[in-house]
Structure 1
Amino acid sequence: MTLSVDLNADMGESFGPWVMGNDAALLEVVSSANVACGMHAGDWDTMGPTMSLAAKNNVGIGAHPGFPDLQGFGRNRMTMPLDSLANLVRYQLGAAQAIARSVGAKVRHLKLHGALANMASEDKDMALACYRAALDVDPDLIIMVLAGTQQNAAVEELQCRAACEIFADRAYNDDATLVDRSQPGAVIHDPDRAGQRMLEMVKAGAIITESGKHIPTRIDTICLHGDTPTAVKIAQSVRGNLEANGIKIGQFAGHPFTAD
Structure 2
Amino acid sequence: MPTIDLNADLGETTGGIAVADDPAMIALVSSANVATGFHAGDPHDIAATVRAAAERGVTVGAHIGYRDPGNFGRTTLDIDPDQLADETLYQIGALDALARAHGTKVSYVKPHGALYNTIVHDKSQARAVVDGVRAFGDLPLMLLPGSVAIDLAEGKGLRVIREAFADRNYTSAGTLVPRSEADAVITDPDAVAARVLQVATTGAVTAVDGTVLRVDAESVCIHGDSPGAVELSRMIVEKLRADGIDIRSFL
What TM-score, normalized to structure 2? 0.95
Hey, what does 1:18 align to over in structure 2? Answer: 17
CA distance in 1, matches of 2:160, 2:94: 21
CA distance in 1, matches of 2:213, 2:153: 18
Hey, what does 1:96 align to over in structure 2? Answer: 95
Corresponding residue to 1:219 among 212, 217, 220: 217
Q: Percent identity?
A: 39
Corresponding residue to 1:203 among 198, 201, 204: 201
Could you list the runs of 5+ residues in structure 1 that have no partner in the other structure? 254-260
Corresponding residue to 2:243 among 226, 238, 245: 245
CA distance in 2, matches of 1:31, 1:164: 15
Corresponding residue to 1:177 among 175, 178, 201: 175
Change in CA separation of 1:232 and 1:251 when aligned onto 2, cut-off 3 Å: same
Q: What number of residue pairs does the alignment pair up? A: 251
Q: Secondary structure at the match of 2:9?
A: strand
Deviations 1:131-153 (A, max 9, x none): 221121122x1211112332333
Shift of 1:128: 2.4
Q: CA RMSD in A?
A: 1.4
Listed as ranges, the matches of 1:57-72 within 5 Å are 57-72=56-71
Q: Secondary structure at the match of 1:207?
A: strand
Hey, what does 1:236 align to over in structure 2? Answer: 234
Shift of 1:72: 0.9
More moved, 142-151 vs 82-91: 142-151
Partner letter of residue 159 of structure 1?
G
Shift of 1:90: 0.8
Could you list the runs of 5+ residues in structure 2 that have no partner in the other structure? none
CA distance in 1, matches of 2:14, 2:25: 18
The answer (yes or no) to whether the contact 1:60–1:251 under 8 Å persists in 2 is yes
Hey, what does 1:161 align to over in structure 2? Answer: 159
More moved, 228-237 vs 6-15: 228-237
Partner letter of residue 209 of structure 2?
S
Deviations 1:12-70 (A, max 9, x none): 10101322110010011000001000010001011111000001011000110111111
What TM-score, normalized to structure 1? 0.92
Q: Secondary structure at the match of 2:34?
A: strand
Q: Secondary structure at the match of 1:228?
A: coil
